[in-house]
Structure 1
């Protein structure tokens, strides 16, 4: 039985980019210490209320989907009670570096948040708060909770496509399980198994037959 079949723990991942089109390799990344036990996705539709003369009701004409928000809470424990001892302050600074202001581009980084088979979300940090819960006698923090809110950074076309779970207009992240085949996955996502070579090229995979359980593969927007 493979590690994937036994339920290997996948950590939530935040990737930082310096370009608005998210091109190239990530500049940095943050991996959660303990996965959030709750993820809140909020979104809002915008309508025009069209009311006919002499009527009391109105017809709601859809205009667009507004940028949505993603709320996450990260728990950090430096006591070793979770089986791994970490430097809490160092982990917090890592989060701030990845999600915060980047002097090289004079703005916060462009982010991708992904976890398991969830659709990759393109976003930017909207707000964050850090609550320190436990300290050593010398003041070094041992436990902390980061509460972060991210706002959607997709264009309007992508936001509309997000209403469709398997839309090929979105970038998907899949964690490979035992028995997965790249052409089959391409057929599920794009409706065309022949796109496997382009997906392999996008991920730097030389042999599409040699994809192993636990690998993360991105399925970018592709035209048939």
Structure 2
């Protein structure tokens, strides 16, 4: 199980975000911290190739076409029996309350956009930006009254990239160009993005585009691809 620098157990956190002018803006008021971490998760990605053959060729040489969709899926257990320690807020919550909070962060349509929300998943080395693709709930334990005491929730998320991130991952040149920089001791991504991109809020985009597990401590000598200053 992932732990922090002090060796404490960390929990998977889902945070709603919006894309403002192509940049990720986290909404820290809309988060859901799981009570019990997933036993495992599945992260899949794909690449599309152009496999057209010219007449007379025995076998085509695949040519890169585009980066395919990314998916993350996992199962959660929501417990309301009182056996599991309280969640991040220190309060014991029943299964219905936990489901309501999960739906509010990942599933419910937003009034201003009339669309499901964008969600960031953060757990250990996993940083994933996407949107909920499916949510299946199986209630497995009940009170005599019929109130659920435990539920198993299967979730699948489809990756969602900002414009800048998509350009970096696809190795396309954004307006103004892109460049490679070398991280020096003490650098953090927000500092790097403020200096080289003109916007510290692009840190989340650059982190995922460069497959970095954290926004803060980046190993000196690391080569990063960043967009040019706006």
Q: Report the TM-score when normalising by structure 1.
A: 0.69
Equivalent residues of 2:24, 2:162 under 8 A apart: no
Where do 4+ consecutive residues of structure 1 move more than 6 Å? none
Cα 1:162–1:35 shift into 2, 3 Å: farther
Structure-1 residue corresponding to 2:209: none
State the shift of 1:105 in Å: 2.1
Equivalent residues of 1:16, 1:28 under 8 A apart: yes
Secondary structure of the structure 2 residue equivalent to 1:107: coil
Equivalent residues of 1:18, 1:27 under 8 A apart: no
1:130 aligns with 2:171: no
| d(CA) in 1 for partners of 2:163, 2:112 | 27
Equivalent residues of 1:22, 1:110 under 8 A apart: no
2:125 to 117, 131, 156: 117
| d(CA) in 1 for partners of 2:186, 2:72 | 27
1:97 aligns with 2:104: yes
Gaps (5+ residues) in structure 2? Answer: 87-91, 172-177, 179-183, 202-213, 218-225
Gaps (5+ residues) in structure 1? Answer: 170-182, 204-215
Secondary structure of the structure 1 residue equivalent to 2:32: strand
Equivalent residues of 1:65, 1:156 under 8 A apart: no
Q: Report the TM-score when normalising by structure 2.
A: 0.67
| d(CA) in 2 for partners of 1:64, 1:196 | 26
Structure-1 residue corresponding to 2:210: none
Structure-2 residue corresponding to 1:8: 8
Cα 1:74–1:159 shift into 2, 3 Å: farther
After superposition, give the CA deviation of every residue in 1:39-74 in whole Å (9 maximum; x if it has no partner). Answer: 111112111113232122111101111121110211
| d(CA) in 1 for partners of 2:167, 2:192 | 23
| d(CA) in 2 for partners of 1:185, 1:57 | 50
Structure-2 residue corresponding to 1:212: none
1:43 to 34, 42, 45: 45
| d(CA) in 2 for partners of 1:4, 1:43 | 27
After superposition, give the CA deviation of every residue in 1:115-148 in whole Å (9 maximum; x if it has no partner). Answer: 1233x22101111011101000011110001111
After superposition, give the CA deviation of every residue in 1:167-197 in whole Å (9 maximum; x if it has no partner). Answer: xx9xxxxxxxxxxxxx74527x69xxx7498
Structure-1 residue corresponding to 2:181: none
2:32 to 30, 33, 38: 30
